[in-house]
Chains A and B, each alone.
Chain A
Amino acid sequence: MREAALEADYQLGAEPVLLTVTIGNGQFGTSLVRLNSAEKCRGDIGDLELGKPGSLKGKKVRVKSVVTDVRDETNRLTVTYKLAGGAQDQTFVSTGVVENDGDSMLFRAIFNLKG
């Protein structure tokens, strides 16, 4: 299984941090979110509240997504991560292409939450 990795910093603000993970191109994917080591959520991730800024400082949000190519029309896969509630809303995109119909890819993302 092919893999793609992304790591970025996210500046905390005054509001709780929300995470949305969108699997694009009509493909099928499942995500698992961990805050440091603890699992926060799995499945479809939409506006997931990670916590208040005070409790998040210095922590890492780890998102892993397995995306499977279920469409005949394309072998392209995309995962979009939206972080909101911090100093500013930010979007990060990870993309990949699988070789054959039905192949899957593992997307890893780490967001370092900075106070």
Chain B
Amino acid sequence: MQFRIRARSCGLLVVTLIAATSIAAPVRAVQDEKPIDLEPFRVPSSPAFTLLGVAPTNIDRPIAPRDFFTSIVSSLDAGTRDVPTDLALEFSPYWWFDHKELTYKERYERDPWETAIQTFSISIATTEIAARASAPNERGTRLGLGTRLLLMDGTPCKQVSEGFGAFEKQVEGLRDAQVDVLLSSDLADLRAEKEAVVTLIASMSDPLANLRAQLEQVARQIAGAATVGEELWAQRARLTAQLDALERDLSSSLRDLADKEVAEAKIVTELRGNGLDPDDLAGSRARAEAEVDRAATALRELDKERYGWTVELASAGAVDFVDGDAGDGEFTRTAGWLTAGYTPSTKGSGGGRVASSLTFLGVARYIWDGIDDRNDEFLDVGARAIWRVREDINLSTEYLLRNLGGDDETERWAAVLEFQVSEGYALVASFGSDFETSFEGDSDLIASIGFSVGIGGPQAPVR
């Protein structure tokens, strides 16, 4: 939700409460036929939803083709040709399949083509269309289809501090934590196996004693007999073979036990060295798993700190189906976005490259809106420079040219100060000049102070 206070040049203070895009409205909500309102310098994460002006609360994110078809089929009304009105799908086809040879390291070595196919996502949404003045009885469904991809996604920072890169340090931290999980698991397995071997060795004791006694008895019979029959020699040979086999098994088991004890002792020493208690394996394993979770989260966060070039493309189109009939569609909206960003790198405290506090963004977007025969068309181009003054303060300046080359070409510029009060909450102050058509008969001066909720929060991943 966004609360905005806009001070105009005439001194009039207008307070508006704007339903924010970050608070989701149900997909089934009747479509409000306003022009598309977009954030100028961001490619929408789900272009289809943006083009339709919907923010569905429940988005299906199929992870396999089967899930996709299930989502489609379950949204259709049986026996009709009607387009479903509550569809909200987002998926990345590349990740529908396993990529067994795609290693973690290759994540940072991919070329633009690999980046594009790995980040290519599709969004599909439908929404119910409200009745129009020209055809008050018309009810229908609007279907939006959008695509989005990255061509370049920057380079992760490798800050060197105290001799270790922060990134590498997190990687090593995660690896160490994973090793602790493995060792805890191995120790539990080894102890269980050791117990089984001890039981096996114990079970050999009686048969061994029996065989030795039998063999001694046969030996005494042979020693006391004047003539030894074939049968007695055969019995001795058989018993000797059985005893040898059992002794071999015992010897092998004892070696196995010794190996396991050596391995156990090594793991115990290592776990103790890592601050874990080998006598409390369940607790140690739980602590190691918690550390894996923590290190993974830290690594994922650090991975987002990028420098260098980012290039992102998106497009979307909308088709209206009168009365929801799939056979009667009319193309009503289309849009395309291109953003290119560059964050210079700078030398970190320990010598490694890190992202500087400056980011430059360039944007081009085209939108055609043919709903209700409006035939609105505009092409925006713009640029923005952002200076991260502190972790919680951003200062930016932006310039946007609308309807480039057209008779109604107009421009907007603004300087914006954002102060992150807490996660998801920010104070935003803007000053500048808006597009000429923004406020008819009035000045286009922008002087606003706003409180943003949910801006800059994490985007929904494509899953």
Of A42, A68, A80, A95, chain B has the most CB atoms within 10 Å of the CB of A68
Whether A37 and B260, one on each chain, are in contact in the complex, defined by CB atoms closer than 8 angstroms, is yes
**Cα distance, A23 to B95, chains bound together (Å):** 15
**Cα distance, A30 to B107, chains bound together (Å):** 17
Whether B92 and A71, one on each chain, are in contact in the complex, defined by CB atoms closer than 8 angstroms, is no
Please give me the residue from chain A that is nearest to B303 by CB atom.
A70
Partner of A73, one of B103, B118, B292: B118
User: Which B289-305 residues have C-beta < 8 A from chain A?
Assistant: 289, 292-293, 296-297, 299-300, 303
Whether B179 and A32, one on each chain, are in contact in the complex, defined by CB atoms closer than 8 angstroms, is yes
Please give me the residue from chain B that is nearest to A65 by CB atom.
B182
Whether A76 and B178, one on each chain, are in contact in the complex, defined by CB atoms closer than 8 angstroms, is no
Partner of B179, one of A42, A70, A75: A42
**Would you call A7 an interface residue if the criterion is a C-beta within 8 Å of the partner chain's C-beta atoms?**
no
Contacts of B463 in A (CB 8 A): 73-75
B contact face: mostly helix, strand, loop, or mixed: helix
Partner of B100, one of A1, A31, A78: A78
Contacts of B98 in A (CB 8 A): 24-25, 76, 78, 95
* Contact code string B141-171 (vs A, CB < 8 Å = 1, else 0): 0000000000000000000000000000001
**Would you call A29 an interface residue if the criterion is a C-beta within 8 Å of the partner chain's C-beta atoms?**
yes
Please give me the residue from chain A that is nearest to B171 by CB atom.
A28
**Would you call A11 an interface residue if the criterion is a C-beta within 8 Å of the partner chain's C-beta atoms?**
no
Contacts of B99 in A (CB 8 A): 24-26, 78
Please give me the residue from chain B that is nearest to A67 by CB atom.
B178
Whether A43 and B95, one on each chain, are in contact in the complex, defined by CB atoms closer than 8 angstroms, is no
**Would you call A101 an interface residue if the criterion is a C-beta within 8 Å of the partner chain's C-beta atoms?**
yes
Q: How large is the interface on A (under 10, 10 to 19, 20 to 34, 35 or more residues)?
A: 35 or more
**Cα distance, A66 to B293, chains bound together (Å):** 12
Contacts of B100 in A (CB 8 A): 22, 24-25, 78, 80, 93
Whether B181 and A1, one on each chain, are in contact in the complex, defined by CB atoms closer than 8 angstroms, is yes
Whether B297 and A102, one on each chain, are in contact in the complex, defined by CB atoms closer than 8 angstroms, is yes
Partner of A39, one of B63, B107, B263: B263
Whether B293 and A104, one on each chain, are in contact in the complex, defined by CB atoms closer than 8 angstroms, is yes
Contacts of A87 in B (CB 8 A): none
Whether B256 and A70, one on each chain, are in contact in the complex, defined by CB atoms closer than 8 angstroms, is no
Partner of B185, one of A26, A64, A95: A64
Whether A29 contacts B178 in the complex (CB less than 8 A), given A34-B186, A70-B299, A102-B296, comes out as yes
**Would you call A88 an interface residue if the criterion is a C-beta within 8 Å of the partner chain's C-beta atoms?**
no
Contacts of B106 in A (CB 8 A): 26
Whether A37 and B293, one on each chain, are in contact in the complex, defined by CB atoms closer than 8 angstroms, is no
Contacts of B92 in A (CB 8 A): 73-74
Whether A37 contacts B263 in the complex (CB less than 8 A), given A24-B98, A28-B296, A30-B175, comes out as yes
| 30 examples of A-B residue contacts, CB within 8 angstroms | A22-B100, A22-B103, A23-B104, A24-B98, A24-B99, A24-B101, A24-B102, A28-B104, A28-B171, A28-B174, A30-B175, A30-B182, A32-B186, A37-B190, A37-B256, A38-B259, A39-B266, A42-B182, A43-B175, A68-B296, A70-B300, A71-B107, A72-B461, A72-B462, A74-B63, A74-B95, A78-B100, A80-B101, A95-B98, A104-B289
The 6 closest A-B pairs by CB, nearest first: A30-B178, A24-B100, A66-B178, A72-B461, A74-B95, A37-B263
Given pairs A27-B104, A76-B98, 20 additional interface contacts (CB within 8 A): A23-B104, A25-B98, A26-B102, A26-B103, A26-B106, A28-B171, A37-B193, A37-B256, A38-B263, A43-B175, A64-B186, A68-B292, A69-B296, A70-B174, A70-B299, A73-B95, A73-B118, A74-B92, A106-B181, A106-B185
